């Protein structure tokens, strides 16, 4: 079982309209609604490809109950909600179909008390004992959770369960201190971590080297349409997917994490695992819905991914 952790999930609603006209009443012909948050997206993708997963997250109020209900009943993902005070946030995206332009409105998440934080750690300890692998996903809803991933990784180490860390900001930098098995920043998040731009491939590889020197066994830097840099101490390469007609890239990084989690728990080689991750991330961008794939399309994309090793001329 792959356990995903999402500190700040949401009810993720998209309203589809022809064009936004500020200051007027706009009636949308359709909308979609799913449980959002990076770890929830990872679980959804794992479930679609037949993997066993469980989603652990903070939940609050009636929006939290809605998030649990959608993820369990519509996506078939078993949930482990840790109930806290306040209200699970809602993210509302307005998609102007004529322009293919998105405008997103993010509500704040609930404030987590020290007692609720401790309760989350205790629930994680119970869940991690049944897990093959853990993914820690996204940012915290408030600064009081900045040490959450570090604390969770240390608990996972006690049970020898590998951890994939996919985050940004202080919760990411503090999580690195506990040495997860794998990290997956995108380029912007890696630049934020280092506090400087990384405009060239050489600069990006040097940043990867720095992460490896921190004791991280596997580093994956997602590059959007350009695929990802994959590195261990022994093997380092750039995997690039075929060109596609992109529909919605949101959640592609989460799909990539799902592919790595599946590959690692199924005993695939590093190259096979990386190809699966890149293929899932690419397939995600082919549809509007996050974490919904055609397995045949994933296999086709996997075969077309190009690998170039770092030391290739």
Residues 19-66: pLDDT tens digits?
999 899 999 999 999 999 999 999 999 999 999 999 999 999 999 999
Query: Which pTM value belongs to this model?
Result: 0.93
Structural domains in the chain plus CATH codes: 2-6+38-79+113-309 (3.40.1190.20)
Separation in Å, CA 285 to CA 41, 43, 176, 227, 239: 13, 17, 29, 12, 17
3-state class of 75 per DSSP?
coil
Question: Given a cut of 90, is residue 8 above it in pLDDT?
Answer: yes
Segment 232-286, tens digit of pLDDT: 999 999 999 887 777 777 778 899 999 999 999 999 999 999 999 999 988 887 7
- C-beta separation of 172 from 40 below 8 A: no
CA 119, CA 52: separation in Å to the nearest integer? 24
Question: Given a cut of 70, is residue 312 above it in pLDDT?
Answer: no
CA 35, CA 56: separation in Å to the nearest integer? 13
3-state class of 158 per DSSP?
helix
Place of tokens 């020197």: 213
Can you read off the two tokens belonging to residue 14? 């998209």
The count of other CB atoms within 10 Å of the CB of residue 79 is 20
CA 235, CA 270: separation in Å to the nearest integer? 9
- Side-chain-side CA neighbours of 9 within 13 Å: the count stands at 35
Provide the angle, in degrees to the nearest 10, between the axes of the packed helices 201-213 and 187-194.
60
CA 42, CA 6: separation in Å to the nearest integer? 10
CA 39, CA 247: separation in Å to the nearest integer? 21
- C-beta separation of 238 from 312 below 8 A: no
Segment 83-141, tens digit of pLDDT: 999 999 999 999 998 998 989 999 999 999 999 999 999 999 999 999 999 999 999 88
Q: With pLDDT > 90 as the criterion, what percentage of the chain qualifies? A: 78
Provide the angle, in degrees to the nearest 10, between the axes of the packed helices 38-48 and 252-265.
50
């Amino acid at each position: 079982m792959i356990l995903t952790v999402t500190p700040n999930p949401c009810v993720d609603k998209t309203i589809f309209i022809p064009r936004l006209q500020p200051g007027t009443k706009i009636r949308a012909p359709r909308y979609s609604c799913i449980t959002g948050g990076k770890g929830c997206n990872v679980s959804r993708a794992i479930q679609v490809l037949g993997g066993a997963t469980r989603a652990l997250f903070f939940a609050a109020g009636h929006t939290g109950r809605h998030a649990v209900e959608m993820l369990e009943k519509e996506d078939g993902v078993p949930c482990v909600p840790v109930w806290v005070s306040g209200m699970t946030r809602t993210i509302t995206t307005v998609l102007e179909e004529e322009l293919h332009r998105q405008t997103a409105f993010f509500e704040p998440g609930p404030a987590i008390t020290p007692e609720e934080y401790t309760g989350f750690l205790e629930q994680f300890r119970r869940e991690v004992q049944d897990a093959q692998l853990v993914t820690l996903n996204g940012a915290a809803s408030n600064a009081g959770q900045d040490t959450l991933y570090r604390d969770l990784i240390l608990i996972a180490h006690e049970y020898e369960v590998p951890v994939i860390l996919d985050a940004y900001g202080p919760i990411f930098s503090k999580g690195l201190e506990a040495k997860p098995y794998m990290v997956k920043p995108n380029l912007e998040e890696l630049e934020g971590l280092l506090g400087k731009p990384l405009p060239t491939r050489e600069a990006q590889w040097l940043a990867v080297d720095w992460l490896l020197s921190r004791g991280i066994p596997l580093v994956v830097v997602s590059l959007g349409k350009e695929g990802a840099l994959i590195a261990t101490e022994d093997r380092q390469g750039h995997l690039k997917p075929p060109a596609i007609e992109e529909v919605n890239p949101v959640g592609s990084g989460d799909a990539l994490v799902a592919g790595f989690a599946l590959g690692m728990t199924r005993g695939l080689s590093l190259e096979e695992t990386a190809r699966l991750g890149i293929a899932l991330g690419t397939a995600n961008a082919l549809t509007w819905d996050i974490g919904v794939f055609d397995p045949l399309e994933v296999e086709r994309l996997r075969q077309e991914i190009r690998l170039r090793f770092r030391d290739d001329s």
